[in-house]
Amino acid sequence: MSLSIRLSHFLADLFVARGWIEEDGKIAYVVGLDVIFSTLIDWTAIGVLGLIRGRFLEAIIYLSFFLTVRRYSGGYHAPTRAGCFSIFVGFYLLADMVTVVIFGSGNGLFLIIYSVCSMLLGELAFYFFAPIPNDRKKYTGEWLLGARRKAFLCLNVWYCLAVGLAVLGLDLYGQILAASNIVVLLIIMRKRRKRK
């Protein structure tokens, strides 16, 4: 049993003992608390890695992109919590390292080509594949249509922000594009897995 589940059970039992919740509603609190704790662990890991790498603002941009876009776009989900954590942190490090290498090159033409290709790839992947539902949840057609619209809206708001940052000469737009590329990769990974 994971640490977050054990802590969730402990707190839910404490809430029942204090009379704050009913025994028959305890499992809902366990699930909710577990989601909160596992999410906090993920966010804390990215924040700490951002601080260690001296790129905390970039880490916040990456997390914010995931919070707003990935929520509606869907994509690959690891079968275990440890796998999910590893993929989430690993892809953050990959995105951040790619951003450092690409934007450290100083090649203006390459940066323009990379940026345009990243945005085009994101638009195509979202148009053809998003949202990709999680097999463990049930969705209505109305929810999927709403998720598709929200995913497109969020993606394009981020792309507008990236263009604005690029015009201002701030390399932070690279982190937006890298986060976008990771979400596209997760969508494609999930799509390929569903075909098998």
Q: Is 163 exposed, middle or buried (0-12, 13-18, 19+ CB in 10 A)?
A: middle
- Better-predicted residue by pLDDT, 75 or 105: 75
Question: Using one digit for the tens of pLDDT, what is the confidence trace for 112-170?
Answer: 898 999 999 999 999 998 888 777 777 788 888 888 899 999 999 999 999 999 888 88
CB 172 within 8 A of CB 165: yes
**pTM for the full model?**
0.82
Query: Domain locations in the chain?
Result: 1-52, 56-195
Q: Is 66 exposed, middle or buried (0-12, 13-18, 19+ CB in 10 A)?
A: buried
